[in-house]
Amino acid sequence: MKQIHDVLIIGAGVTGTMIARELSKYVLDVVILDKNNDAGDATSSANSAIIHSGYDPEPGTLKAKFNVLGNAKYPKLVEELDVPFIQCGSLTIAIEDEQLPVLKELAERSKINGVPVQLLNKEEVLKMEPNINPEVKGALFAPTAGIIDPFNLVVHAMENAIDNGVTFLRSQEVLDIKKENDVYKVKTNKDEFYAKIVINAAGVFSDKIAQMVEPIDWAITPRKGEYFLLDHYADGLVNHTIFPLPSKKGKGVLVSQTSSGNYIVGPSSELASPDDVSTDGETLGNIRRAATLMVPSIPFNQTIRVFAGERATCTRHDFIIEYAKSDKNFINVAGIESPGLASSPAIAEYVVETLVRPLITLKSNPKFNPCIKKYHRMHYLSEEEQQKAIAEDSDFGEIICNCEHISLGEIKEALSRSCPPVSIKGVKRRTRSGYGKCQGGFCQPKVLLLLAKHYGVSPTEIPLAEDGSYIIDHEIKEAK
């Protein structure tokens, strides 16, 4: 019989990778599978990239609890995992007088949730954000909200987990789960795995996975969110994350700087099938109108990309973090929609310390290191540090991405780590090469040839993103 893993995690999004990292603190045989070819390839990489403060979730919910606990973990976490993070604070604004009582309610809610907030009047808001609609009546300021690089967050959590002993297997789509002789047999499109404990962190597909084990009384009804991403030249457009008042459909269309200095505008919220990340003009037009109401001068002509992501919205309207009804060795971590990014480190701790601990002996991993090796981000280094990096490795002097000034050295560094990119998108998410205004028009051929050389394969085998998304159809002559 094949090897029996202690824990098998399905889904390498922010939830799965954080749980894997948390488990790697102990001496355990942990394997994590994802149906895509990279960690954080779905919901975790297509969202607002906000570490929410926790002013919005209804008190008493798991969302409220883990959001606040998770938010508090971020300042240390981003140091350990070397993730760009700016605690810029958020402003939830009221444009009409009748909205002011709602702001007060949110302030009350924040107090119960344990979130520090401050109510601001019109003058205070306009002083903090001069580009906001001058009709603004007031705002709720939440200083602990932050903006993060969600790609680096997930990939670096995965890298750290792998460095501490976890096995990550890509392009493994789970097709069936059976319990045989007290052990779970997990069948994928490629292989079979055996594990004592299975953790379902499959995002928008988590209900499908849960149903492989038992009938469930909840379902995932994915809601798609479309976004604009703008170039980084509109300095000071907004200095905080700007929210409208929340509604039943979500937190509404936000306007925010990103951790890389770009601007993000969105999301919409509409029901969608689980793999639909298409965009359409009508929805984007609605986002634009809603955003312009808050910040009239958004330079939409600097749009460099539109994209969509899916929320794993659950019919229970809260996170599901619990044992399967029929068996404690199967744990569902489902319905992790917003504030999922913020909550994930706290969810991971709860899953391991409260749900996994009673099931299996947790012996501390003496080799556990919470930190990954720091990456070179040339653009953010001082001149002296850049010179030093180039002196040590001249590849840091050769610029591959014209728009974001990403060097060959930075791409090679990403390839040298334990969770390396396999696609153009994988390189982009890790290094920002191809993230600028030309969207890879200039650097994509260079990155593609670099990947082909690194993996020793034909350029036809390098995908843009997911498996099957080849860029090159064929070579017209012998590659010299």
**Is 444 a residue that touches other proteins (CB under 8 A)?**
yes
Q: What is the rounded CA–CA span in Å between residue 409 and residue 36?
A: 26
CA angle, 62 then 65 then 68, to 5°: 140
Q: In angstroms, what is the minimal distance from the CB of 422 to other proteins?
A: 13
- Residue 70 gets the label, from left (phi > 0), alpha (psi -120 to 50) or beta, of alpha
Number of Cβ within 10 Å of residue 105's Cβ equals 11
CA angle, 438 then 47 then 13, to 5°: 105
**Is 171 a residue that touches other proteins (CB under 8 A)?**
no
Is the separation of the CB atoms in 297 and 237 below 8 Å? Answer: yes
Q: What is the rounded CA–CA span in Å between residue 292 and residue 84?
A: 28
3-state secondary structure of 114: coil
**Is 442 a residue that touches other proteins (CB under 8 A)?**
yes
Q: What is the rounded CA–CA span in Å between residue 68 and residue 323?
A: 23
DSSP character string of 309-373 = EEE--BTTSS-EEEE-SS-TTEEEEE---SSHHHHHHHHHHHIIIIIITTTS---B-TT--S-PP
Q: What is the rounded CA–CA span in Å between residue 442 and residue 475?
A: 20
Dihedral sign of CA atoms 67, 69, 70, 76 in order = positive
Report the DSSP pairing between strands 223-230 and 303-311.
antiparallel
Binding positions for other proteins, 100-119, rule CB under 8 A: none
**Is 456 a residue that touches other proteins (CB under 8 A)?**
no
- 52 catalytically annotated: yes
Q: In angstroms, what is the minimal distance from the CB of 43 to other proteins?
A: 14
Q: Smaller CB distance to other proteins: residue 99 or 386?
A: 386
**Is 292 a residue that touches other proteins (CB under 8 A)?**
no
Report the DSSP pairing between strands 174-180 and 90-94.
unpaired
Q: In angstroms, what is the minimal distance from the CB of 172 to other proteins?
A: 17
CA angle, 468 then 18 then 61, to 5°: 110
**Is 362 a residue that touches other proteins (CB under 8 A)?**
no
**Is 392 a residue that touches other proteins (CB under 8 A)?**
no
**Is 437 a residue that touches other proteins (CB under 8 A)?**
yes
Backbone angles phi, psi at 54, to 5 degrees: 110, 20
Q: Smaller CB distance to other proteins: residue 183 or 438?
A: 438
Q: What is the rounded CA–CA span in Å between residue 176 and residue 208?
A: 10
Q: Smaller CB distance to other proteins: residue 120 or 229?
A: 229
**Is 188 a residue that touches other proteins (CB under 8 A)?**
no
Q: Smaller CB distance to other proteins: residue 73 or 429?
A: 429
Q: In angstroms, what is the minimal distance from the CB of 141 to other proteins?
A: 30
Which of 211, 441, 455, 457: binder of other proteins (CB under 8 A)?
Answer: 441
3-state secondary structure of 422: coil
List of long-range contacts for 448-452, beta carbons under 8 Å, 24+ apart:
448/424, 448/472, 450/400, 450/408, 450/411, 450/412, 451/415, 451/421, 451/422, 451/423, 451/424, 451/427
Q: Smaller CB distance to other proteins: residue 314 or 403?
A: 403
Instruction: Say which of 52, 156, 232, 240 is annotated catalytic.
Output: 52
Give the number of residues in contact with other proteins, rule: CB under 8 A. 55
**Is 236 a residue that touches other proteins (CB under 8 A)?**
no
**Is 469 a residue that touches other proteins (CB under 8 A)?**
yes
Q: What is the rounded CA–CA span in Å between residue 78 and residue 65?
A: 21
**Is 397 a residue that touches other proteins (CB under 8 A)?**
yes
Which of 98, 180, 217, 383: binder of other proteins (CB under 8 A)?
Answer: 383
Q: In angstroms, what is the minimal distance from the CB of 266 to other proteins?
A: 12
**Is 290 a residue that touches other proteins (CB under 8 A)?**
no
**Is 465 a residue that touches other proteins (CB under 8 A)?**
yes
Which of 271, 371, 391, 457: binder of other proteins (CB under 8 A)?
Answer: 391
58: nearest Cα among 13, 105, 91: 105
Contact segment (CB under 8 A) with other proteins among 138-146, 210-218, 355-363, 384-392 equals: 384-392
Contact segment (CB under 8 A) with other proteins among 110-118, 145-153, 306-314, 411-419 equals: 306-314
269: nearest Cα among 252, 288, 246: 252
**Is 387 a residue that touches other proteins (CB under 8 A)?**
yes
Which of 114, 116, 358, 445: binder of other proteins (CB under 8 A)?
Answer: 445
**Is 275 a residue that touches other proteins (CB under 8 A)?**
yes
**Is 322 a residue that touches other proteins (CB under 8 A)?**
no
**Is 270 a residue that touches other proteins (CB under 8 A)?**
no
**Is 395 a residue that touches other proteins (CB under 8 A)?**
yes
Which of 122, 137, 196, 405: binder of other proteins (CB under 8 A)?
Answer: 405
- Structure-token match 């999004």, residue found: 13
Q: Rule CB under 8 A: which residues touch other proteins?
A: 229, 233, 275, 277-281, 284, 303-308, 383, 386-387, 390-391, 394-395, 397-399, 402-403, 405, 407, 437-442, 444-445, 449, 459, 463-477, 479
Catalytic residue annotation: 52
